[in-house]
Amino acid sequence: MRKQSARTAALVLCILSYLLVGAAVFDALESEAESGRKRLLAQKRSELRRKYGFSAEDYRELERLALQAEPHRAGSQWKFAGSFYFAITVITTIGYGHAAPGTDSGKAFCMFYALLGIPLTLVTFQSLGERLNALVRRLLLAAKRCLGLRRPRVSPENMAAAGLLACAATLALGAAAFAHFEGWTFFHAYYYCFITLTTIGFGDFVALQNDGALQRKPPYVAFSFLYILLGLTVIGAFLNLVVLRFLAAAADAPERAARPPRRGAPESRGPAQRAGRIAISCRLHPLELCARDNPGFSPPASPGAGGGGRAGRPPARRKSI
Amino acid sequence: CAHNYVLFSSVQFSYGHAAPSTDGGKVFCMFYALLGIPLTLVMFQSLGERINTFVKYLLHRAKRGLGMRRADVSMANMVLIGFFSCISTLCIGAAAFSYYEHWTFFQAYYYCFITLTTIGFGDYVALQKDQALQTQPQYVAFSFVYILTGLTVIGAFLNLVVLRFMTMNAEDEKRDAEHRALLTRNGQAGGGGGAGGASCGGGSAHTTDTASSTAAGGGGGFRNVYAEVLHFQSMCSCLWYKSREKLQYSIPMIIPRDLSTSDTCVEQSHSSPGGGGRYSDTPSHRCLCSGAQRSAISSVSTGLHSLSTFRSLMKRRSSV
């Protein structure tokens, strides 16, 4: 039990220090620019006020109106296409915020929609991602065979490299497309794709907001939706490959640790049955686990070792059954 | 302030109230997220799992203290507790933020929900009024702590309920591969006496077929034992279901570390039937097997291809 708690504590400390480091770096990078922008804004504001003779309240009202007009400038956000876009941002947790429900009923529905939608989406993307990984594995195996390698095997490193390449390619493709369609620089479009596909979704860059694209450019709209969903699949596949085992590991570990104390407990069955049980389990299922926790029983390491070396064991186990 | 922004972006939802404007900031942000997001995911799941374990332990003690006959903590108990924790976390946050930010309770609840599900629209953002980031450090601290704690509670609930479904494809793949390997080994060995797999009457036709096919090729003791287990399982599928359901949450389950097989070794808890032939808490179950056979069955999982979806679903690892 203690190992898991230690691991958790280490992770928490790691995250806290990561936050502190990030804060320091972002501060160094951005606060200068921020104060510069603020000064520029104040300057422009006073110029405008002088030029047109706005009072303080009038100007504040104007500012508020300008802010409110922003989403409307981008076109109708809540017709079907816009709402579909919004629904995507909800269940994938991207959440640009370029459009957010204004009515209370919209907010309430949004919450229930997310409640069911987010877990469903998580599971779906992981499922899709796993299938994608299986396909890639098969393709790599076929490719290796074609290349005439004697014993083609796809190692985890191969898969990780393929996954990384796929992610980079997805981002680059999206960057090229959105740079062209939205008129952003390649770097900004890449940044947009990255922030979108990691589901951060700042909303500083949002596609489909220019020229009423949501209503007037259905092929581009379709492309954007497809890109987001496919891109999330690719990222999900990579996460499934690399990260999921650590999420699941966090869940597994305590059972392993809890086992030894239980085995010694007086309420358990007799030693023969216990041994038999464990032996059966280990024999049937070559788990590293069993090897670690039951030094007396080593799982069959290979098909060959399984039959011969264990000849003496089966009778004993049979008895316990 | 950069600190607030960093917290938000590292936790992967982002309001966008502040987003890096300099190109250098954007680049650093991307690298920061690249490492930070998986790290954060793993941390929250780890923390959530610890909390689930602790809650399960507390509930178990509480049940014992209340003198209940069966002090097992079932999955339903855990899900209920998890759900109520989430609701109360949201309500506490809603109350606090509606007070500090002068929002209505509903708006504050909506804010907490959108934040803790990491959606983060940015239509409502805390710490944006009255220079709170600079002038109200306690409120700032509370907000940060609330977000991190809230995410932990939600993470624990997700760990409990959703994580198993995220790994189900991979588990099935491994199970299939394992079974294929076994069958190949059987075919290679040839001959030999199969165990009584073919003779079993009950259970699904699936199991019978698999058992006979496995037994037919069997030669070594390994395969014999395996086939016997299939035989037992097909006969005692009733017990299989019952024991799995009953024990799923009350006993420690060992999950294969590498998903080379997705089977679980299940160890009998003290509440299960003893070594004799007596039936314990399942008087209504008319099972053909003796107690010894039953203990063997319930202690060995079968990761067979033949298992129905229902069984597969029941074999989802418990996250606690």
**DSSP labels, A208-249:** S-STTHHHH-HHHHHHHHHHHHHHHHHHHHHHHHHTHHHHHH
Residue B253 dihedral angles phi and psi, to the nearest 5° = -115, 135
Residue A54: how many CA atoms within 13 Å on its side-chain side? 15
Which is nearest to A242 in space by CA: A124, A157, A127, A128? A157
Chain B residues touching residue A89 (CB < 8 angstroms)? 119
pLDDT at A75: 78
Across the range A216-222, mean pLDDT stands at 93
pLDDT at B221: 58
For the cut 50, the answer to whether the pLDDT of residue A315 exceeds it is no
| Contact indicator for B247, B227 with CB cutoff of 8 Å | no
Minimal CA separation from A149 to chain B, in Å = 23
Minimal CA separation from B159 to chain A, in Å = 8
- Say if B12 is an interface residue toward chain A (CB within 8 Å): yes
pLDDT tens-place string over residues A53-105: 888 888 889 888 988 887 777 778 899 999 999 999 999 999 999 889 999 99
Minimal CA separation from B105 to chain A, in Å = 12
pLDDT bucket at A188, cuts 50 / 70 / 90: very high
pLDDT bucket at A320, cuts 50 / 70 / 90: very low
Comparing alpha-carbon positions, the chain A residue that sits nearest to B83 is A115
Residue ranges of the domains in chain B? 45-176
pLDDT tens-place string over residues A119-141: 999 999 999 999 999 999 999 99
| Contact indicator for B19, A204 with CB cutoff of 8 Å | yes
Across the range A242-246, mean pLDDT stands at 87
Distance CA B209, CA A118 (A): 40
Comparing alpha-carbon positions, the chain A residue that sits nearest to B155 is A247
Distance CA A33, CA A178 (A): 26
Minimal CA separation from A148 to chain B, in Å = 24
More confident residue, A113 or A50: A113
Distance CA A268, CA A287 (A): 22
Residue A214: how many CA atoms within 13 Å on its side-chain side? 22
For residue B104, which amino acid is it? T
Distance CA B119, CA A121 (A): 13
pLDDT at B255: 43
Please judge whether A285 and B24 are an interchain contact, meaning their C-beta atoms are less than 8 angstroms apart: no
Comparing alpha-carbon positions, the chain B residue that sits nearest to A272 is B275
**Does residue B266 sit in helix, strand or coil?**
strand
For residue A3, which amino acid is it? K
Please judge whether B295 and A277 are an interchain contact, meaning their C-beta atoms are less than 8 angstroms apart: yes
pLDDT at A181: 94
Please judge whether A200 and B9 are an interchain contact, meaning their C-beta atoms are less than 8 angstroms apart: yes
Write down how long chain A is: 321
Distance CA B120, CA A93 (A): 8
Which is nearest to B202 in space by CA: B235, B230, B231? B235
Across the range A275-295, mean pLDDT stands at 45
- Say if B159 is an interface residue toward chain A (CB within 8 Å): yes
CATH class of B45-176: mainly alpha
Please judge whether A280 and B22 are an interchain contact, meaning their C-beta atoms are less than 8 angstroms apart: no
Chain B residues touching residue A127 (CB < 8 angstroms)? 166, 168-169
Comparing alpha-carbon positions, the chain A residue that sits nearest to B184 is A303
| Contact indicator for A304, B274 with CB cutoff of 8 Å | no
Q: Which residues of A89-120 are buried (b: 16+ CB within 10 A; e: fewer)?
A: bbbbbbbbbbbbbeeeeebeebbebbeebbbe
Gyration radius of chain B over CA positions: 26
pLDDT at B142: 94
pLDDT at B228: 62
Residue A176: how many CA atoms within 13 Å on its side-chain side? 5
Gyration radius of chain A over CA positions: 29
Across the range A244-253, mean pLDDT stands at 70
Cα dist. B46→A22, A258, B41, B75 in Å?
A: 22, 17, 9, 19
Please judge whether B20 and A259 are an interchain contact, meaning their C-beta atoms are less than 8 angstroms apart: no
- Tens-level pLDDT at each residue, chain B (320 residues): 455 545 444 444 557 678 899 999 999 999 999 999 999 999 999 999 999 999 999 999 999 998 888 888 889 989 999 999 999 999 999 999 999 999 999 999 999 999 999 999 999 999 988 888 888 899 999 999 999 999 999 999 999 998 888 888 778 888 888 998 888 887 766 544 444 444 444 444 444 444 444 444 444 555 666 656 655 555 555 554 445 545 444 444 444 444 444 444 333 344 444 444 444 444 444 544 454 444 444 444 444 444 444 455 455 544 44
**Token code pair at residue B195:** 């165990």
- Name the DSSP letter for residue A285: S
Please judge whether B221 and A27 are an interchain contact, meaning their C-beta atoms are less than 8 angstroms apart: no
pLDDT bucket at A211, cuts 50 / 70 / 90: confident
